């Protein structure tokens, strides 16, 4: 089954404790992206990757890191999480640029930073 898998689905942690949210897709998609979703603000793009070893900042990259060492994986790293990063996070992938192809989304990761 074609899917985007995120882990964990839920996480409660404390300020400053490094965490990684994993994202994996099995569709051989070139493009992968991370979003955060906050009430009233919709989905905001954090980082995206057009291909292996190619990453670029979205609209809200501060406080986040990503890497794309393999085509299928695109982890999101919070080196020193803060309470303002409490949010619902989505990973998404598409065959090519999302301007040319629709994205497939994971089920989301709800992060609470205390």
Partner 1 sequence: EDKVVQSPLSLVVHEGDTVTLNCSYEVTNFRSLLWYKQEKKAPTFLFMLTSSGIEKKSGRLSSILDKKELFSILNITATQTGDSAVYLCAVGGGTSYDKVIFGPGTSLSVIP
Torsion (CA) 9, 89, 98, 2 in degrees, nearest 10: 0
Residue 56 interacts with partner 1 (CB under 8 A): yes or no: yes
Nearer to partner 1, 51 or 82 (CB): 51
**Nearest residue to 86 via CA among 6, 13, 8:** 13
Task: Please give the Cα distance from 81 to 107 (Å, whole number).
Answer: 21
Q: Is 2 within 8 Å of 24 (Cβ atoms)?
A: no
CA atoms within 13 A on the CB side of 16: 0
Q: Of the candidates 5, 22, 103, 112, which one interacts with partner 1 according to CB under 8 A?
A: 103
Q: Which is nearer to partner 1, 59 or 79 (CB)?
A: 59
Smallest distance, partner 1 to C-beta of residue 20, A? 20
Q: Which stretch binds partner 1 (CB under 8 A): 20-28, 54-62, 65-73, 74-82?
A: 54-62
Contacts with partner 1, residue ranges (CB under 8 A): 4, 31, 33, 35, 40-45, 48, 50, 56, 58-59, 90, 97-108
């Amino acid at each position: 089954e074609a899917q985007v898998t995120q882990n964990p689905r839920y996480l409660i942690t404390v300020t400053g404790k490094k965490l990684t949210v994993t994202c994996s897709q099995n569709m051989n998609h070139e493009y992968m992206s991370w979003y955060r979703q906050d009430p009233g603000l919709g989905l905001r793009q954090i980082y995206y990757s057009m291909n292996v070893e190619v990453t670029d900042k979205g609209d809200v990259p501060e406080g986040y890191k990503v890497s794309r060492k393999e085509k299928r994986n695109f982890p999101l790293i919070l080196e020193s999480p803060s309470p303002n990063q409490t949010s619902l996070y989505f990973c998404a992938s598409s065959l090519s640029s999302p301007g040319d192809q629709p994205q497939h989304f994971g089920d989301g990761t709800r992060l609470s930073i205390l």
